[in-house]
Amino acid sequence: MIPCMSGPFKMLTILMQIPKGLLDCDARALHSILSGPTLIKLEGQRQEVLFISVLLHGNEVSGWEVLRRVLLTYQQRSLPRSLYLFIGNVSAAAEGRRCLPGQADYNRIWKADTDTAEHRLAGKVLRELEQQPLFAAIDIHNNSGMNPHYACINKLGSNFLHLARLFSRTVVYFIRPDEVMSLAMAAYCPSVTLECGQPGETTGITHAEEFVEACLHLSAFPEPALPDKEIDLFHTVATVKLKAGCLPGIAQSGVDFALLPDMDKLNFTELPAGSLFGWCEGSDLPLDAWNEQGEEIAAHYFVIHEGEIVTRTPVMPSMLSLDQEIIQQDCLCYLMERLSLCQAQRIYAD
């Protein structure tokens, strides 16, 4: 079957079992069995549902590889708890793309503030889920730069921290962007986004598979709060984007923003004020930095000095990538600050 690019948008398919042959397919081949975005509901011994979404970005294949591995081990025996799976952008996966031209980004459609076919799809998935008792929600992603494996949460409740810590001691809390799956699911149950390194890397797949197995077997989250020494918690305080119309390039002249050639090595590195962050021509910053309140505060973080863009305050970037399509479609990076559990409790209480 040839994936349908220009035909009618495929609305949600709901299945109660794994279609024959599905587990033989890699992400690119899923379209030969699935007609589009699909929710698969599998019953297990414990009723409270573990929800897992994969391929919201069609090129981030590790999540599907994790599901294949997990489901293959349960072919002859029952699941320890009910498992609902959402396989997202099947048509983009067929082409190995994050999303296809004309599609909304599947991880920016989970807030009911826009009316596109993809937003209606997201609404339908959420309505299916909210009728179920939910144990936890996991959205599995890859990223393109050099990043450690880490978990993101959008609420600082104790169960969210426990769930995230089960995957990694590096945990990122953010509330912008606010249209992501994990933030929508946080209204119903503890919810995380996993970042499992680069697409298809075995270590990331194995790591997430072990996490999913642990969640399937976990009966409840531990009562005692995590001690501070158990977790490295970071708060995303700004999203850095290229200004509209600005062209990026890697260490080259004639572009609006020249990245450092190995810029992605700065991910999860605490940079002191005065660190080089790229080059530009002219006196206008080619970057915007948006804080949680939606205010533009690039001048708080960056200054231009003789063609060099230099940091003004201590910051730690994440998600820096040299992939120019991602930089232009999504963002350049996020800026983070370290958060103690005491500070986290105060934010949660507010």
Query: In the bound complex, what is the minimum distance in angstroms from residue 193's beta carbon to Zn ion?
Result: 8
> What's the rounded Cα separation, in Å, for the pair 27 and 107?
17
Half-sphere exposure of 232 (CA within 13 A, CB side): 13
Interface mask (CB under 5 A) for Zn ion, residues 186-225, using x and -? ----------------------------------------
Q: Which is nearer to Zn ion, 197 or 317 (CB)?
A: 197
Q: Which stretch binds Zn ion (CB under 5 A): 45-53, 141-149, 157-165, 250-258?
A: 141-149
Least Å from the CB of residue 209 to Zn ion: 18
Considering beta carbons, is residue 60 or 179 the nearer one to Zn ion?
60
- In order, the DSSP letters of 219-243 are -S--SSPPPGGG-EEEEEEEEEEEP
Question: Nearest distance from residue 17's CB to Zn ion, in Å?
Answer: 27
Nearer to Zn ion, 57 or 235 (CB): 57
Euclidean distance between CA atoms 32 and 21, whole angstroms? 10
* CB 88 to Zn ion: min, Å: 10
Residue 350's Cβ-count burial label (10 Å; 0-12, 13-18, 19+) is exposed
Cβ atoms within 10 A of the Cβ of 80, count?
A: 17
Write the interaction track for Zn ion spanning residues 27-66; mark x where CB under 5 A is met and - where it is not: ------------------------------x--x------
Q: Which is nearer to Zn ion, 100 or 297 (CB)?
A: 100
**Shorter beta-carbon distance to Zn ion: residue 259 or 326:** 326
What does DSSP assign to residue 263? Answer: G
DSSP assignment of 5-64 equals SSSPPP--EEESSPPTTGGG--GGGGGGT-SSSEEEEE-EEEEEEEEEEE-SSTT-THHH
- Which residue from 346, 344, 350, 295 is spatially nearest to 174, judged by alpha carbons? 344
Per-residue binding string, Zn ion, 271-310, x by CB under 5 A, is ----------------------------------------
Identity of the residue, 65 or 302, whose beta carbon is nearer to Zn ion in the bound complex? 65
**Interface size with Zn ion, residues (CB under 5 A):** 3
Judged by beta carbon, residue 316 or residue 319, the one nearer Zn ion is 319
141 binds Zn ion (CB under 5 A): yes
Query: Nearest approach, Cβ of 290 to Zn ion (angstroms)?
Result: 19
- Interface with Zn ion includes 108 (CB under 5 A)? no
For the bound state, the minimum distance from the C-beta of residue 181 to Zn ion, rounded and expressed in Å, comes to 10
For helices 202-217 and 62-73, what crossing angle results, to 10°?
50
38: tokens are 């699909």
- Which tokens in the block code for residue 253? 């002249």
Residue number, 137 or 341, with CB nearest to Zn ion: 137
Closer of 10 and 141 to Zn ion (Cβ): 141
Q: Which residue is nearest to Zn ion (CB)?
A: 141
Largest CA distance in the chain: 66
Shortest distance, CB of residue 187 to Zn ion, whole angstroms? Answer: 21
In the chain the first and final C-alpha atoms are separated, in Å, by 52
Tell me which stretch binds Zn ion (CB under 5 A): 18-26, 44-52, 133-141, 173-181.
133-141
Residue 143 CB, shortest distance to Zn ion, in Å, is 7
User: 99: Cβ–Cβ under 8 A, 6 or more apart, which residues?
Assistant: 57, 58, 89, 92, 105, 106
Q: Residue 230's Cα: distance from chain center in Å?
A: 23
Least distance between Zn ion and beta carbon 225 (Å) = 30
Q: Which residues pair with 279 in a beta bridge?
A: 258, 308
Q: Which residues bind Zn ion (CB under 5 A)?
A: 57, 60, 141
